[in-house]
Amino acid sequence: MSQTDYRNMIDEPTWAFIKATDAEYPPDTATLTIAQQRAIYDRMCRAFHRGYPAGVVAEDRAIAGVPCRVFDGPGPMVLYLHGGGFVVGGLESHDDICAEIRVRTGLGVVCADYRLSPEHLHPAAFDDCIAVARAVGADGPILLCGDSAGGNLCAAVAHALRRTAVKILGQVLAYPGLGGDSDKGSYLTHAHAPMLTRDDVLFYKNIRHGAPSPQGDATVSPLQDTDFSDLPPTLAISAQCDPLADDARDYAAKITAAGGCALWVEEAGLVHAYLRARHTVPRAAASFTRIVDALSAMAKGQWPQGETK
């Protein structure tokens, strides 16, 4: 595996973010017990929490039996699925991100507290997310948005619900892991990237199943589907310095090749989990603006340009 020199690829504000994250969430955290990982992750999330914009309120309530945090607002509702390797995260981890999406898009937001591994192996998380999507979608069109593992779940839900009564107006995936080939491309080029390594990816991939990840199952690895037609308009975003970078690129290309509407953006010099840097790193702020602008446009059927297919 090649060793990429990140000294000039990553700018000073991003290095400061990496160092601040490492101080809260050491790079070897994935080697600790699950309980320890969750405690460290929760502490890190609290340290980076930016609070709510003025006037934002949220209510916790069950939707389809799944605990959710709801930021009430006009539709279409945004269903946000959080990252965390299917192992960590919940209603608190991306709470402020969802609050800011609510304000900046003007749309209502629902964050689903799906079940985590290893206590709940696949398809538990997928089942929870699709149940919430169906329930929220019964009241009107929805949008999907998620980061990392949440991006995987968004895509899996989109594949499962196409050609159904649930109308998904679009999906925005931030540095998603979609089941690409871990033995080539960015998985090797960025195997030792800051914030997320290839070894981390393999750990989270396999712990979801209690065994090696199955192949060819779109509910696990949307990139391994054999049909990419009739999917909603998609914005797939890679962080350049991330072993998962090729997944977003390849996913958008497959949708486009199938006649769909998809756009891939590679965020230069950014690292996995950069959404927490949206207030301190200009590149991350610009990417977050890209995300909320895409959701706003998709809600109107105008992404990426003109009327969507």
Which residue of the set 113, 272, 287, 296 is catalytic? 272
Which residue of the set 148, 182, 186, 238 is catalytic? 148
Which residue of the set 113, 242, 246, 247 is catalytic? 242
The rounded distance, in Å, linking the Cα atoms of 64 and 244 is 31
The rounded distance, in Å, linking the Cα atoms of 255 and 309 is 12
Give the sign of the dihedral formed by CA 273, CA 274, CA 280, CA 286: negative
The Cα-based distances of 190 to 49, 167, 238, 295 in angstroms read 28, 36, 12, 29
Give the sign of the dihedral formed by CA 114, CA 256, CA 242, CA 224: positive
Determine whether 229 is an active site residue: no
Determine whether 272 is an active site residue: yes
The rounded distance, in Å, linking the Cα atoms of 309 and 175 is 24
Structure tokens at 43: 């502490």
The DSSP code sequence of 110-161 is EEE----TTTS-TTHHHHHHHHHHHHHHTTS-EEEEEETHHHHHHHHHHHHH
Determine whether 120 is an active site residue: no
Q: Are 238 and 189 in contact (CB under 8 A)?
A: no
- Residues with a known catalytic role: 148, 242, 272
